[in-house]
Amino acid sequence: MCLGIPGQIVSITDAGRQMGMAEVSGVRREVSLAPVADRPLEALVGEWVLIHVGFAMAVIDEHEAQETLIALRELGEAQEALEQMAEGDRALAGVHAGEGTA
Amino acid sequence: MRYVQEFRDPKAAQGVLRAIEAVCTEIGCTADDPLRIMEICGGHTHAIFRYGLDKLVPAGIEFIHGPGCPVCVLPMARVDDCVEIAEQPGVIFCTFGDAMRVPGTRKSLLQAKADGADIRMVYSPLDALELARRNPDREVVFFGLGFETTTPSTALTLQQAKREEIGNFSVFCNHITVPPPIRALLEDPHMILDGFVGPGHVSMVTGIHCYDFVADEFGKPIVVAGFEPLDLLQSVLMVLRQIAEGRAEVENQYARVVPEHGNPVSLAAIADVYEPRPSFEWRGLGEIDASGLRIREGYRAWDTEAKFGIGYGARPKVAEPEGCACGAVMTGRMKPVACPQFGRGCTPDTPLGALMVSSEGACAAYWTYGGARAVAAAE
């Protein structure tokens, strides 16, 4: 849960709730932009952020974000984060974890 | 030295290692009389073992693995509370996956789930809030766990629940903070530490001045560090240079992510939703003053403790399992392999103690990156 993963903000999904769509290693996931909303939300589209448990915690340099993603992929940690995100989706769908995932 | 590939450049690592060796020689630390440097964060512990940094640095440096894994320091009585809440009719109990296998007195959350409790592993507290929106006739509880890195996420989620008046959602708050246990360790006369490698992502939220007391009151260097091998080696070098020069300061090696004053939105959300408890129990360390957070009066309607009548400390304290030395390992008095249960009664598949449960626990990291071989070789 302490693992952070870089993602790119591709759109604002709900300005009222400060939510945006992030793309992480080709997977899209809605995240909260609240911690980095010290600027107009629209200005965050295209930016890379460090995502912790569904919250964009810091804006990071694009090159650095790409390199971090490559490193996390090599270590299998990007996969771990993506699996946790998928787990969240399954929980929302009411599917009990472990079923049909083997 | 900005990008990851540079943080893994073997040539750069060799350069830093040579500089570390030179300062070690200057200080005169040896294998018999080593400098003891504590990395506080479980993520750092994991990285040190993964890259074998403990073997790369000179024998005059000993890494002491600190209490910075929130899953590992969670007292067993709180796991029992979780199981009790999860087993109540109508409850959907949401948790980060890391906490599923932590042993409780009766059972873990994983076992409770197998026994029929509706327990969902979620990625984010926002997933739990969404479950509450979609299931208005159910009571959704989120197990809030972690240091300042995850505390803003539950604080912001609770603010959202209050704004939307989602009444069937609550947080079981077990958030803890990093500075109080550092103080407790520094005040422990048995603990001899020469310096600290400070947590990176916690500090991204808090900034670096919450560690001022380490330098000002206790005269120890502390360097906030990133998670790449070269980040860690460079931070160790910065700690050593302070020692060699007789300085004790808070320095920031991870400035590319950690702002001096932290993240203002996150800090404001934490202050709005949470307040310190008088004290909180840490597995292996005991009760530590003002080290845990509870939900403020203004958010009482979203506080699982109030909703379910589960007060902190109501349950009698639970002793560690027989033969489990997590406490001694966590305070640096024992190496993981010296524990009689390590790799025998206690492995990542069948964890006895909390340090074997999470991949950030010192024992699990030690096991994964060579400890298993060490045990096999000894037998």
Q: Do A57 and B122 touch (CB under 8 A)?
A: no
B285-305 per-position pLDDT tens digit: 889 999 999 999 999 999 999
For residue A11, give how far its alpha carbon lies from the nearest alpha carbon of chain B (Å): 18
For residue A10, give how far its alpha carbon lies from the nearest alpha carbon of chain B (Å): 19
Q: Do B150 and A97 touch (CB under 8 A)?
A: no
Contact B98, B339 (CB under 8 A): no
Mean pLDDT of B45-51: 89
Contacts of B230 in chain A (CB under 8 A): none
Q: Do A54 and B146 touch (CB under 8 A)?
A: no
Q: Do A57 and B205 touch (CB under 8 A)?
A: yes
ipTM of the complex: 0.89
A95 has a chain B CB within 8 A of its CB = no
Q: Which of A14, A21, A32, A53 should be substituted to probe chain B, the one whose Cβ sees the most B Cβ atoms within 10 Å?
A: A53
A7-61 per-position pLDDT tens digit: 999 999 999 999 999 999 889 999 999 999 999 999 999 999 999 999 999 998 8
B139-146 sheet: strands from edge to edge: B119-121, B91-95, B139-146, B169-175
For residue A21, give how far its alpha carbon lies from the nearest alpha carbon of chain B (Å): 14
Looking at every residue in chain B, the average pLDDT score rounds to 91
B174-220 per-position pLDDT tens digit: 999 999 999 999 998 887 899 999 999 999 999 999 999 999 999 99
Q: Which long-range contacts (CB under 8 A, 24 or more apart) does A25-32 make?
A: A25/A69, A25/A73, A25/A78, A25/A82, A27/A82, A27/A85, A29/A54, A29/A85, A30/A54, A31/A7, A31/A55, A31/A56, A31/B124, A32/A56, A32/B126, A32/B153, A32/B156
User: How much of chain B exceeds pLDDT 90, in percent?
Assistant: 65
Q: Which of B1, B2, B4 should be substituted to probe chain A, the one whose Cβ sees the most A Cβ atoms within 10 Å?
A: B4
Output the pLDDT for position A102. 32
Output the pLDDT for position B372. 62
